[in-house]
């Protein structure tokens, strides 16, 4: 009788060890998948702030064009190229070119040609961003690098 109880206890012990091992292996798989998924999310959120805009001659003197990818207005005047963010400093809507300046369609903020707030709820001016010409001859904008509104890329 005692031998039968011992055999039953041993069987129970082996079963519980197997269940515990399976649980540990399962939690390891879940943790690994979670890490991979989180890494992918981080990679998505850490997109480069540098955008290729094109050749300098793509931007005619006296013009200003909106580029959807970097969400920038890129223009050229007598001093060179410049780029100003189209992202409204109020709640992030895309401003429209309003001739001399810019106007936000969402809550009515208005900005002058230098991006300074001249009306509406926007708390800060529009940002001018750094431009460079790389050895391949193309113009790039770094939307994370702000510059003075008077800065120009001479091309």
Binding footprint of ligand FES on the chain (CB under 6 A): 88, 90-91, 93, 104, 106-109, 120-122
Residue 121 beta carbon to ligand FES: minimum distance, rounded to whole angstroms? 5
- For residues 94 and 89, give the distance between their C-alpha atoms in angstroms, rounded to a whole number: 10
Cβ proximity to ligand FES, 29 vs 91, nearer residue? 91
Token code pair at residue 150: 């008077």
Residue 109 beta carbon to ligand FES: minimum distance, rounded to whole angstroms? 4
Cβ proximity to ligand FES, 84 vs 139, nearer residue? 84
Cβ proximity to ligand FES, 103 vs 130, nearer residue? 103
Residue 110 beta carbon to ligand FES: minimum distance, rounded to whole angstroms? 9
Residue 120: exposure state from Cβ atoms within 10 A (0-12, 13-18, ≥19): middle
- For residues 101 and 112, give the distance between their C-alpha atoms in angstroms, rounded to a whole number: 4
Cβ proximity to ligand FES, 95 vs 141, nearer residue? 95
Would you tell me how many other CB atoms lie within 10 Å of the CB of residue 117?
19
Residue 89 beta carbon to ligand FES: minimum distance, rounded to whole angstroms? 8
- For residues 58 and 74, give the distance between their C-alpha atoms in angstroms, rounded to a whole number: 10
């Amino acid at each position: 009788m005692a031998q039968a109880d011992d055999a039953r206890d041993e069987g129970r012990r082996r079963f519980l060890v197997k269940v515990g091992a399976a649980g540990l292996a399962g939690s390891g798989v879940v943790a690994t998948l979670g890490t991979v998924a989180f890494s992918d999310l981080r990679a998505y959120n850490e997109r480069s702030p540098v955008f290729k805009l094109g050749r300098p001659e793509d931007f005619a003197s006296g013009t200003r064009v909106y580029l959807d990818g970097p969400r920038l207005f890129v223009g050229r005047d007598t001093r060179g190229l410049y780029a100003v963010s189209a992202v409204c400093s109020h709640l992030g809507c895309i401003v429209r070119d309003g001739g001399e300046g810019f106007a936000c369609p969402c809550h009515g903020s208005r900005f002058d040609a230098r991006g300074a707030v001249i009306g509406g709820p926007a708390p800060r001016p529009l940002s001018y961003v750094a431009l460079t010409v790389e050895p391949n001859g193309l113009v790039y904008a770094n939307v994370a690098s702000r510059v003075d509104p008077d800065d120009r890329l001479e091309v």
